[in-house]
């Protein structure tokens, strides 16, 4: 019997002008999602997603809800084309975890998109109030990256694979971390082009404001397993979900642990929904034998639909 499959959702940084546009033009249910998003937010998010400019789309309070809607359009297009498709679990990278929780029935579409717009705005404001940055460390063991972070006074933001860890914090600390990582034997370091220090202590003001927003949102137990970024294991009750989503803003994204949990519990196939294929690349490094497919536009959706209809992907 084929092992079970999961759907995973893209995070911030995956945005691209035009995302979701061809799906919205081809499928009325996808177009409806963008219309609902515009109505919920009170402005033309769909126009920003479809036409840009890139400077507007890159703003956290636009790209976070934008990627959410585009990712859900991808998901809706697939399940409409393959009515019998079922998923045993779901997960997402940072904001993608919110998409996963909505897909699993924990939050309504309107609540999710309004919360993500607020989350993006809070994070953008925290970025502007601090001088922060992020650096990707390649080819250095996670334990050594942790030591580098401690010595440089920064935080571990993302545990993406055994070969890639992202650090986040004050710019001077990031510069020091880059030096220490190279001294420790890192193959490569890449300073990321981001607005600030996401998933670090510098985001604490955003986390506190997000907690107030989440207190007013109804959350329900998910219909399927949703793996938490901050714990690397499935979410608990709604109150715990709220706490984890707040912790996620300043805490480490434990993507390696999340995929390892899914693999250990029978997940052998992954459908990535949303712009780009970053998660597919990370999963391949963590679980080399995994079957992978993605949906980001009409062409990739058609390939994924064909794959899901094969015996290999059943179950």
What is the chain's mean pLDDT, rounded?
95
**Which DSSP helix (H) or strand (E) runs through 49?**
helix 45-51
- Check if the beta carbon of residue 168 is closer than 8 Å to that of residue 13: no
Q: How far is CA 53 from its chain centroid? A: 22
Say yes or no: 90 and 206 in one domain.
yes
Q: How many CB atoms lie within 10 A of CB 12?
A: 22
Residue the block writes with tokens 């703003």: 59
- Residue among 25, 60, 10 nearest 281 (CA): 10
> What is 226-257 written as a DSSP string?
EB-TTTSSB--SHHHHHHHHHHHHHS-B-HHH
State the Cα–Cα distance between residues 107 and 122, nearest whole angstrom.
20
- Check if the beta carbon of residue 205 is closer than 8 Å to that of residue 128: no
Confidence class of residue 2 from pLDDT cuts 50, 70 and 90? Answer: very low
71 given a catalytic annotation: no
CB-facing half-sphere around the CA of 82: CA atoms within 13 A:
19
In a domain, 305, yes or no: yes
Q: What is the per-residue pLDDT across 151-181, written as a single tens digit (0 to 9) for each?
A: 999 999 999 999 999 999 999 999 999 999 9
pLDDT at position 260: 97
What is the share, in percent, of the chain residues with pLDDT greater than 70? 98
Domain of 117, in residue numbers: 4-128+201-313
What CATH number has the domain bearing residue 223? 3.40.366.10
**Which DSSP helix (H) or strand (E) runs through 146?**
helix 142-152
pLDDT at position 85: 87
Given a cut of 60, whether residue 3 has pLDDT beyond it is no
Say yes or no: 105 and 169 in one domain.
no
235 given a catalytic annotation: no
pLDDT at position 1: 29
Say yes or no: 32 and 147 in one domain.
no
Say yes or no: 253 and 208 in one domain.
yes
State the Cα–Cα distance between residues 100 and 68, nearest whole angstrom.
9
Say yes or no: 238 and 305 in one domain.
yes
What is the share, in percent, of the chain residues with pLDDT greater than 90? 93
Q: What is the per-residue pLDDT across 40-54, written as a single tens digit (0 to 9) for each?
A: 999 999 999 999 999
Which of 161, 191, 221 represents a domain boundary (last residue)?
191
Please identify which of the residues 46, 60, 94, 200 carries the catalytic annotation: 94
| Strand pairing report for 267-273 and 89-92 | unpaired
Domain count, the chain: 2
pLDDT at position 314: 63
Please identify which of the residues 27, 62, 199, 235 carries the catalytic annotation: 199
> What is 79-141 written as a DSSP string?
HHHSTT---SEEEESTHHHHHHHHHTTSS-HHHHHHHHHHHHHHHHHHHHHS-EEEEEEESS-
Q: What is the DSSP letter of 220?
A: -
State the Cα–Cα distance between residues 183 and 177, nearest whole angstrom.
10
């Amino acid at each position: 019997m084929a092992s079970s499959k999961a759907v995973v959702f893209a995070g911030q940084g995956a945005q691209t002008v035009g995302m979701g546009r061809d799906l919205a033009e081809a499928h009325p249910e996808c177009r409806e999602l963008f219309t609902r998003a515009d109505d919920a937010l009170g402005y033309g998010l769909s126009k920003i997603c479809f036409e840009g400019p890139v400077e507007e789309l890159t703003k956290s309070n636009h790209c976070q809800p934008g990627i959410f809607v585009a990712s859900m359009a991808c998901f809706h297009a697939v399940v409409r084309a393959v009515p019998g498709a079922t998923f045993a679990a779901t997960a997402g990278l940072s904001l993608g975890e919110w998409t996963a929780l909505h897909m699993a029935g924990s939050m309504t579409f309107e609540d999710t998109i309004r919360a993500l717009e607020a989350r993006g705005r809070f994070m953008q404001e925290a970025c502007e109030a601090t001088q922060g940055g992020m650096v990707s460390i390649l080819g250095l063991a996670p334990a050594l990256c942790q030591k580098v972070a401690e010595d440089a006074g920064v935080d571990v933001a993302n545990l993406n694979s055994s070969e890639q860890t992202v650090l986040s914090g004050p710019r001077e600390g990031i510069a020091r971390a880059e030096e220490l990582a190279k001294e420790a034997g890192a193959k490569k370091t890449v300073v990321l082009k981001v607005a600030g220090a996401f998933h670090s202590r510098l985001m604490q003001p955003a986390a506190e404001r997000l907690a107030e927003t989440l207190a007013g949102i109804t959350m329900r137990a998910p219909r399927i397993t949703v793996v938490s970024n901050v714990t690397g294991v499935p979410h608990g009750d709604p109150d715990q979900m709220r706490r984890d989503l707040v912790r996620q803003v300043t805490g480490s994204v434990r993507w390696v642990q999340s995929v390892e949990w899914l693999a250990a519990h029978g997940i052998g196939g992954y459908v990535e929904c949303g712009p780009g294929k970053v998660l597919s690349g990370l999963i391949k490094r963590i679980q080399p034998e995994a079957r992978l497919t993605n949906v980001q536009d009409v062409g990739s959706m058609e390939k994924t639909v064909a794959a899901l209809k094969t015996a290999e992907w059943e179950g």
